[in-house]
């Protein structure tokens, strides 16, 4: 049970940025540090997420495979952006042939 708790905490830390950033401002940088830093990896620096914005069609993606579907949802402790994760077609085909 303790392992599961640490795993969930790590997942949430990786998906959280240290500050609230609206979807318009996400386009200012390509990568952002998360709240997750793993001792012995990247010299203790936090892991980063990659953000890409496109004009046509207008969209924001995170780490290549996630697309923001509900941006700028305000919460009591900041802001969140709801994502949907897309799995590449070639991975689906490879797993079905194994």
Domains held by the chain: number: 1
Read off the pTM: 0.66
Phi and psi angles of residue 93, each rounded to the nearest 5 degrees, phi first: -65, -40
H helices then E strands: how many in the chain? 2, 5
Supply the range of the domain harboring residue 18: 2-97
Residue 88 has what pLDDT?
A: 60
Q: What is the pLDDT of residues 60-81, one digit of tens each?
A: 888 888 888 888 888 887 887 8
Could you identify the residue written with the tokens 């509900």? 70
Handedness of CA 92, 30, 76, 11 (dihedral sign): positive
C-alpha 87/C-alpha 94 separation (Å) is 12
């Amino acid at each position: 049970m303790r392992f599961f708790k640490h795993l969930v905490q790590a997942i949430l830390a990786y998906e959280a940025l240290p500050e609230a950033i609206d979807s318009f401002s996400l386009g200012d940088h390509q990568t952002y540090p998360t709240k997750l830093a793993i001792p012995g990896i990247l010299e203790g620096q936090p892991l980063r997420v990659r953000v890409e914005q496109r004009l046509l069609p207008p969209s924001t993606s995170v780490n290549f495979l996630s697309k923001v579907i509900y941006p700028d949802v305000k919460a009591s402790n900041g802001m969140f952006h709801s994502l949907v994760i897309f799995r590449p077609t070639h991975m689906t085909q490879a797993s079905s042939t194994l």
